[in-house]
Structure 1
């Protein structure tokens, strides 16, 4: 019995050791499995013609895999299941619109910043609203349960926050004059303005009412992989590859007309 217990203990210890270094496992397999959320254009979406996954997150996964010397493989995850998928080892990293929060940081490790999502407010051009401060005391829309609500209450405490089930509903409420402003991510606002606002133009007001730093999610307790991923991101930033990816999906030649205003640096702990 004692020999059996010793053998069992050694077997378990050996199994743990075999999987203790995820980076070694990835290089041994020759594949980096990236968990991505495919319902978030331009970050990750299925190309209707080729049926392939494309987007900002997809390009980052490909670039990191290349710098690790392996091939990328993509697994589509839902927003609710993305962290459990990582924790249970079904994916190696997450590139799934994963914004940093202290609660999430207790569950997964975050890489350096690879995107900063700015929360801004759109207003109808015809209303002549020029700044966020001009919305004081007015009705401002936001998606129910979104981080925009807390940002609005902090920046515009006198405004009436009206919530909607989803972003298209909130944007249509703005277009119909039911609210004076609508708060959402800058990416979403530019996309809606491009697709829906030709007959009723909107302006995206400055400054941003809040921001959310995104990182690639890495399983806790994997310092070698975390160091390698951060090294890849820093090398991409230095070489200009981060700029290339950003401009491809959100730059001046796209419907978003955005400028990159962040660096690949550690996410501020807040």
Structure 2
């Protein structure tokens, strides 16, 4: 029994050590595997040649370059971002990952690298100005996102219709399957552009999220490197350049100042 306990303890320590040395493993492999959702424009998407692009992708490219390794994109959807990290399929997550208390129990977050406005939007003419106004109405969301959590917990009497990815949500709204949606401001703008005839408008803001880079729990060495990298690239303006390129506006200076305190 004692021997078995010692063996288990040794294996646990070895597993912990391997996890804690993720940064060394990345450098040794000369490659970092980054979980990115490529169906969340303009943060993650593919171009006309089916090549990855978007603000999250550019952040990943810059991070890999500064680390001196190659970038391997691990395609994901909202619900599989954290499982990809936990199962070792990815080394980090850069994929519109908003901080929540629930997620912080199972992964660690870096200093935020970008903001994300979360909102409820829908067809003009539907009288919705608050959570209370959603009672008796259906709202489309991407499963396991902060919008899903916020609406499930606070929109009493509403029917939350869950899709497996943002592409499904966009299709539902654009084709008229859904008249109300909980999503990010960036994705909602995409819906407005794709379906101008639907007369979509923002109804109210759910929250403004801080987006962090996800790292496995207790992976302190990698997290410290990522935090230093995020701070340095806020100070030199490179993260703001990427954000403005895809989102059309600067990251507010007071928000960056708050993050860097």
TM-score tier, shorter chain, comes to 0.7 to 0.9
TM-score (norm 1): 0.71
Residue 27 (structure 2) pairs with residue 41 (structure 1): no
Alignment coverage as a number of residue pairs: 244
**Structure having the larger proportion of residues in helix:** 2
Q: CA deviation at 1:41?
A: 2.1
Distance 2:89 2:153 in 1: 39
What is the rounded CA distance, in whole Å, between the counterparts of 1:102 and 1:74 in structure 2?
26
- Say if 2:125 is the partner of 1:132: no
1:104-145 deviations in Å (ceiling 9; x for gaps): 1111111111233212233556x598x936x95887652156
Write the mapping of 1:1-270 to structure 2, written as runs, cut at 5 A: 17=17, 20-49=20-49, 51-122=50-121, 127=125, 132=129, 141-143=138-140, 147-148=146-147, 151=150, 161=158, 163-166=160-163, 167=169, 168-170=171-173, 173=176, 182-197=181-196, 199-205=197-203, 208-251=205-248, 260-261=251-252, 262-263=255-256
Pair 236,201 (structure 1): closer, same or farther in 2 beyond 3 Å: same
What TM-score, normalized to structure 2? 0.73
Q: Which runs of 5+ in 2 are unaligned?
A: 1-5, 164-168
Answer with 1 or 2: which has the greater Rg: 1
Q: CA deviation at 1:8?
A: 11
Match of 2:166 in 1: none
- Structure 1: state its 5+ residue gaps: 1-5, 252-257
Q: Compared with structure 1, are the counterparts of its residues 259 and 221 closer, same or farther at alpha carbon in structure 2 (3 Å cutoff)? A: same
For the residues of structure 1 that align with 2:11 and 2:200, how far apart are their CA atoms?
64
Contact persistence 1:164–1:170 (CA under 8 A): no
- Deviation of 1:213 after TM superposition, in Å, equals 2.6
Q: Cα RMSD between the aligned structures?
A: 3.9
d(CA) in 2 for partners of 1:18, 1:204: 46
